[in-house]
Structure 1
Amino acid sequence: MKLHLFIPAIILLLFTVTPISAHFFSNITSIPSSLIPNTTLWDGFNQFLGSHKGQKVNGLAKLKKYFQRFGYINSSSSENFTDDFDEILESAVKLYQINFNLKSTGELDVQTLKNIVLPRCGNPDIVNGTSTMNSGKRSSYSTNSTIHTVAHYSFFPGKPSWPASKTELTYSFLPENQLSENVRSLFGRAFERWSEVMSLTFTETSSFDKADIKIGFFSGDHGDGEAFDGVLGTLGHAFSPPLGLFHLDGDENWVTDGDFINASPLSAVDLESVAVHEIGHILGLGHSSDKEAIMYPTISSGTRKVELANDDIMGIQELYGSNTNYNETNPVLTPRNESEVNGAHNLVCSFWSHGILLAIGLSLFLLVL
């Protein structure tokens, strides 16, 4: 999140924002059909395919706003964008491609568009002109041969972290959300995944005002300058330490059982997967360009991804050190992409091959710009 928004966020969150009751479903079959978008928006994005500098294509102005939202175009740039594919857009596309380990052509090719339309974290990839992603660097932190030596993790500018005196962090949920025990325990598991590999521990408290980490579900503009956009699009965002604000989009169809074997509705989002990612931000991690990492910015709907990858572990241990019970040669958590293990197919690839692009999230985002 943008550092200059911290104080306004606190003031507006506490005094002017009305939280909502989020949509939670124990499994994907319980999502009402009325909440599942039934639309194909390939035609709207087909016009962008192959676009490059020098062209003029309807809709590029809104795409520039998308890139500005996530830091690829300077926030001080004029918001009176045109539909011209100019040097500003080409530079943004190239940097986006570098961050996501794509071929840096500056052209809106298939792979680039496939990434853009995925649901994602609302935290920007570039903050105040500094990329919070890393497309690959030699790691000087881990010398253990069982962990790869190319790191992709990153930190917020200035590398903020919780003070060393804080060995235990408390977290609490906005009372107005009235979360069930099942949902609260899901967050407990998400916190535990980080505490198993690092020195900090986490405890739930009923005192929301006094908690180190404050978790809430909101809809639309909720006072921190980063409005949510409805189903898919941006799923959540969190501020760097020590602010501890953790926001999720209450309009999503949040699934709590993590089972995507039998079906994968376009709008179903695994809550624990997103929670684990946002907790990484709360602790001080930025986005990673390692596709297997929890801190990778995007996740397909109908996908479960909750286990820390080596890249996540190296990053968090650089900030806080290792849990004394953590064995690097035999990790407590075995990093893996659960979307392959539980049978959920890659939605984007599947729909692309049928001429249907998972563009609902981006389109909704563009509509509110």
Structure 2
Amino acid sequence: MKKLLISSILGVLCLSIFPISTFAYEYWYDPNNTDNAWELLGGIDDGDLDIFADNNFTINNTTYDFATEYRDAYSDWYSSVGPLYITESNRGTNKLWFYADDYGEQGLNGWASFYLDGNRQQDCKSCSLEGNYDLAKTYLNAHDLEDGTPFTSAEVEAVAIHEIGHALGLSHEDDEDAVMNTYNVDTGNFNVLYDDYGVTNLYKNN
């Protein structure tokens, strides 16, 4: 009995010290109904994604494998969020498109744009969203990734993780442990552990 009690106490302490998730997440909301968060129509349990990014993109002597970074970043979300079954199957409705290129000086490493019936709703250069959407496109900007000290592979993946989070319906999060924090690359937060529940929660009724 004593061993069981000690084990139980240690288990509680471990959960307190090493939380499974802080459930840190923020959404974009309908200004006329703050209980209604904007989302990807049709949910996340099916649909297609396409990657329009090179695996050998060179700028100023720095070469990036953007296609692989995108796949690794999406894999982090895919393995943590349930159900998230948007895949590169080319058998369903297009929901996510991933791009990377030299877009010139933007002051941004990446951003997301949102579309409904082919019309752009808004983009995350201003980090706002004005309604539900049926297609999200994310962009990695080689110009700003390479400007100054070139980003490492891990840092490029972190940018991709962040932008995919926007594509899935998450806005910026103030929590410094969140990958959706505006400065997640600077703070070294590359793990979706603190944000994955936000995606699951957003689509729980789909």
- The two structures have a TM-score, normalised by structure 2, of 0.59
Instruction: Give the SS at the match of 1:173.
Output: strand
Instruction: Give the SS at the match of 2:139.
Output: strand
Q: Partner of 1:191 in structure 2?
A: 74
Residues 276 and 178 of structure 1: CA distance in aligned 2, closer, same or farther (over 3 Å)? closer
Could you list the per-position Cα deviations for residues 297-319 of structure 1 after superposition, in whole angstroms to 9, with x for gaps in the alignment? Answer: 11456x75321133x12312211
Distance 2:101 2:68 in 1: 20
How far apart are residue 166 of structure 1 and its match?
A: 4.9
Q: Partner of 1:235 in structure 2?
A: 109
Instruction: Give the SS at the match of 1:214.
Output: strand
Distance 2:163 2:49 in 1: 13
- Report matched runs for 1:275-354 at 5 Å: 275-300=160-185, 305-310=189-194, 312-321=195-204
From 161, 176, 186, the equivalent of 2:39 is: 161
How far apart are residue 291 of structure 1 and its match?
A: 0.5
Instruction: Give the SS at the match of 2:140.
Output: strand
Distance 2:73 2:43 in 1: 23
Q: Which amino acid aligns with 1:155?
A: Y
- Report matched runs for 1:217-232 at 5 Å: 217-220=100-103, 229=105
8 A contact 1:238–1:282 mirrored in 2: yes
Q: Which amino acid aligns with 2:55?
A: L
Q: Which amino acid aligns with 1:248?
A: L
8 A contact 1:236–1:274 mirrored in 2: yes
Structure 1: runs of 5+ lacking an equivalent: 1-143, 221-227, 255-264, 322-369
- The two structures have a TM-score, normalised by structure 1, of 0.36
Distance 1:315 1:154 in 2: 7
Distance 2:168 2:113 in 1: 9
- Report matched runs for 1:1-369 at 5 Å: 146-147=19-20, 152-158=24-30, 159-164=37-42, 166-174=44-52, 177-180=53-56, 183-198=66-81, 199-204=83-88, 211-220=94-103, 229=105, 233-240=107-114, 241-253=133-145, 266-268=149-151, 270-300=155-185, 305-310=189-194, 312-321=195-204
Range with greater deviation from structure 2 (291-300 or 279-288) = 291-300
How far apart are residue 160 of structure 1 and its match?
A: 1.9
How far apart are residue 185 of structure 1 and its match?
A: 3.0
Instruction: Give the SS at the match of 2:47.
Output: strand
Could you list the per-position Cα deviations for residues 165-201 of structure 1 after superposition, in whole angstroms to 9, with x for gaps in the alignment? Answer: 6512322133xx5435954233222112112222112
Distance 2:80 2:145 in 1: 30
Q: Which amino acid aligns with 1:237?
A: W
Q: Which amino acid aligns with 1:305?
A: N
Q: Which amino acid aligns with 1:186?
A: E
8 A contact 2:105–2:144 mirrored in 1: no
Structure 2: runs of 5+ lacking an equivalent: 1-14, 31-36, 57-63, 115-132
How far apart are residue 161 of structure 1 and its match?
A: 1.9
Q: Which amino acid aligns with 2:84?
A: L
Distance 2:175 2:97 in 1: 28
Instruction: Give the SS at the match of 1:204.
Output: coil
Distance 2:41 2:94 in 1: 15
Could you list the per-position Cα deviations for residues 118-143 of structure 1 after superposition, in whole angstroms to 9, with x for gaps in the alignment? Answer: xxxxxxxxxxxxxxxxxxxxxxxxxx
Distance 2:67 2:150 in 1: 22
Instruction: Give the SS at the match of 2:181.
Output: coil
8 A contact 2:108–2:144 mirrored in 1: no
Distance 1:275 1:165 in 2: 21
Distance 1:289 1:219 in 2: 29
Q: Partner of 1:115 in structure 2?
A: none
Distance 2:95 2:174 in 1: 28
Give the total of aligned pairs.
153
Q: Which amino acid aligns with 1:252?
A: D
Distance 1:162 1:190 in 2: 19
Superposition CA RMSD, Å:
3.4
